[in-house]
Every structure is written in structure tokens, then in C-alpha cells.
Amino acid sequence: MSSIALFPCSFTPSPNVASSIAASLQLTLYGDNDLIRDTAERYDVPEAKLQKAIFGNTSVFNQFTLEREKMLNLLRSMLAEKLSQQDQHLFFGFMALLIPADVSHVLHVLVVGTKQGRIESAMKNGLTEKEARKAIHADDVKAYDFTDFLFQKEAYNNALYDLVVPVEEKSSEELADIVSQYFHKTSVLRTEKSIQAVANMQLAAKVEQILLQNGHRLEVTAIEGEVQLKVQKSVLLYDKLVTDVTNLVEQIDGVQNVVVEKGYNYNDSIYRRQKFELPSRVLFVDDEKDFVQTVSERLINRDVGTYGVYNGEEALSVIEEDRPDVMVLDLKMPGLYGVEVLRQAKQIAPEVEVIILTGHGSNQDMKDCMELGAFAYLNKPVDIEELSKTIKAANEKALSRSAQAA
């Protein structure tokens, strides 16, 4: 049974087109929210995390947490299960691009409008021109961020779709008719090869899930039981990595052979297995950029994942959007004074553990910081081992509190 996957372009008739096609071809309409709900129930994860994986920006801490990869993997797994069933669907939403192109019984469609046409459509819905431009820009940023993360391509790149239908003042019915006619004329058939592609998708998702759980981010391809893993970053002990990931993957049902290869950009940066039991969401705030970069590198070598910013305003912005577990905060910075950053940070996210690190603090500063809820107060120059130990203790407290709240 064949299906359609339609990627949405905002302020076009895409939703109406999807509904019309589903009704005329007797397809079950299945949207992003349906997939998120089903995935959350199946894997016992918060819907908010799945929502963010699709529609949100990639966290500044993602290189250490692999959170977006993990959530997208669960969504792919759920989607692969849907595809393995005999039902016909119209998959509508960002998830359309989670379906591999070699699943040929799914027609990938984009209904797209010109920027001016979309502005006019938004204005017909009651927005001013300025509001329309802003809304369209925000929607496109989400779409482009999603496809850039998946493919390093723009969302409306023709190469991502089997059929691209420009709106060009056509009605929803006319657009739906174009897609339906193409669906009937083109060989969108459930063949043995296409069924195998779904099985490959399921196995690849299963392999990727095990790798991510063990801190490995590798490109995974599965073809009839043979799993190909590509390492895209340089690794100091390459042979050990090959042995480790091969041993992990060989234990998975359905895996017959494992091949590990170096990817096309292998030499660009250093591959590092992520150790999730160690701090991976640490915000480092200090106006001395060289100091931040040097200490961050030394902490990363101790498996402490840090992201650096250089003033209090940036720190508060990150806390609002990304919620670090631990913040290392300098007191003496231009703009917002460190004590004020601490005060506002605790108002925004009281669960964030804050370590004060300063070379110019007074006894009163220390008293004020501890009364505001700082985890520790350290003086510069600080021993890197002491700082690492303090961060890990603060991280344990943060994670313990989070586990109790859950």
C-alpha cells in the first residue's frame, strides 16, 4: 500500500491540500503531533523534548548530550513502525523528511509558495505586512534548521522531494488534484525492494539508538543485515573505536555484518565518545575569552562538556533557552555584575547550580553569593582538578534533584 509524505511550507494551502488528498485517496492523515504523541507513549519520553527536536534550535550543549539525535532517533523508530504496517497514510509535517528516499512507496511532496505570495496569504489571515514577514521568517528558520541538521540542505531544496508543486494562485483543490494525478501516474508501489528499505530503516534506527545510548554519534546505514558505520571525525584510537562499536552492534538482532569506515570529512575535528554520566551541560561565563577557551578545553579533556559566553546578558539568554545543569560564573564583568547575574539566573531557573569563580571578590561578595544559592565560591587562579571536581559535585546535585522531580 502506498503513502504520501508532504512537507509543510507555512502560509500556503498545504494543510488543506493534505486534508483533500487524504480524503480523496482514502489515506489516514498523520501529522507531527500524532507522531510525537505516539513516540512519547511508546518510549516514555516527554513530548516537549520531541517537540524541541523537530521544531527547536539545536542546543548549545547538544555536542555533549546528543539530545537531538536521541529524540530524532526515537521519532524515526516510531515512524518506521508505522511504515511497516499495511495502512496507507498521508504523513504531513516535518517528519516527512525522516522517511528515507529509498522507501519508494512513499511519495515525497512539497507544496511551496513564493515569499510574496506567502506574505499576501498571511495578510489575508489578518497579519500586517511586518508581522507576516516576521512570522514567515520564523517558520523558515525552523524548517531550515531541521533540514540543515539532517542533510546540510535547505528545507525547500528540490533534491529532497519527488514532487515540488508551486502554489501560483492555484486553489487547494487544484493543488490536491496535481498531487493525486502524479500519485496515480508514477510508480509509487510497495515492492519487495521498498519493503526491504523499511526494514533497513528499522534496523538502522535500532543500531543508532544503541550507539547513542553509549555515547557514539556515527552515520548509520543498514542494508539487508549489513550495517555500515561512518566515522566523520578523527579519533586518536581508531582501531579501538572500531572494536568497541562493532562489539555493540553485533549483539543486535538482525545484524549480520558490521563495516566501519572513515567518512568524507574524517580529518575535520576530533571524535569523542560522550559519557553522559559526566557533566555535559556546563555554562562557562567570563569576559576573558582566552581564559574561557583554555579552561574549557582542559575541562573537555576531563569529560566536562562546557559552552562559553563572555557576558552576563548572554548567560541569561542561554539559561532561558537551554537550561544548563551547572554555571561557572565570574563576578567581575562589564555590564551585569556577577552577583546580579546569579540573582536573575536563580529567578529564571533555580535548579541551575552556580559556581562562582573570581579573582577579585570580597568577603561580602562571597556572603551575598552563598545567600543567593551559589553551590561554591572559588578564587582564581583555580586548580583545574579542583574546578573539575566541584563541577562534577554540582552536576550530581542537579541531576539528583531532577531525578527526584521526575
Cα–Cα distance between 137 and 127 in angstroms, integer? 14
User: Is the same domain home to 85 and 142?
Assistant: yes
User: Is the same domain home to 135 and 215?
Assistant: no
User: Is the same domain home to 234 and 136?
Assistant: no
pLDDT tens profile 276-311: 667 889 999 999 999 998 998 889 888 888 999 999
User: Is the same domain home to 36 and 162?
Assistant: yes
User: Looking at 127, 157, 189, which one is the last position of a domain?
Assistant: 189
Per-residue pLDDT tens digits of the chain, which is 406 residues long = 689 999 999 999 999 999 999 999 999 999 999 999 999 999 999 999 999 999 999 999 998 899 999 999 999 999 999 999 888 999 999 999 999 999 999 999 999 999 999 999 999 999 999 999 999 999 999 999 999 999 999 999 999 999 999 998 899 999 999 999 999 877 777 889 999 999 999 999 999 999 999 999 999 999 999 999 999 887 778 888 999 999 999 999 999 999 999 887 666 555 566 666 678 899 999 999 999 989 988 898 888 889 999 999 999 999 998 889 999 999 888 888 889 999 999 999 999 999 999 887 788 889 999 999 999 999 988 899 999 999 999 999 988 887 777 6
Does 274 map to a domain?
no
Does 270 map to a domain?
no
Predicted pLDDT at 186: 74
User: Is the same domain home to 321 and 225?
Assistant: no
Torsions phi, psi of 289, nearest 5? -60, -45
User: Is the same domain home to 139 and 249?
Assistant: no
Please name which of 250, 270, 252, 386 lies closest in space to residue 328, comparing C-alpha atoms: 386
Does 273 map to a domain?
no
- Contact indicator for 221, 249 with CB cutoff of 8 Å: no
User: Looking at 189, 221, 237, which one is the last position of a domain?
Assistant: 189
CATH code assigned at 227: 3.30.70
pLDDT tens profile 314-346: 999 999 988 899 999 998 888 888 899 999 999
User: Is the same domain home to 239 and 97?
Assistant: no
Number of domains in the chain: 3
172 contacts: CB under 8 Å, gap ≥ 6: 13, 16, 17, 20
Does 140 map to a domain?
yes
Does 267 map to a domain?
no
Predicted pLDDT at 274: 64
User: Is the same domain home to 360 and 384?
Assistant: yes
User: Is the same domain home to 346 and 371?
Assistant: yes
User: Is the same domain home to 217 and 286?
Assistant: no
Does 30 map to a domain?
yes
User: Is the same domain home to 28 and 142?
Assistant: yes
Cα–Cα distance between 364 and 262 in angstroms, integer? 55
* Residue span of the structural domain in which 76 resides: 3-189
User: Looking at 189, 205, 226, which one is the last position of a domain?
Assistant: 189
Does 84 map to a domain?
yes
User: Is the same domain home to 232 and 181?
Assistant: no
CATH code assigned at 165: 3.40.50.300
Predicted pLDDT at 1: 65
Does 309 map to a domain?
yes
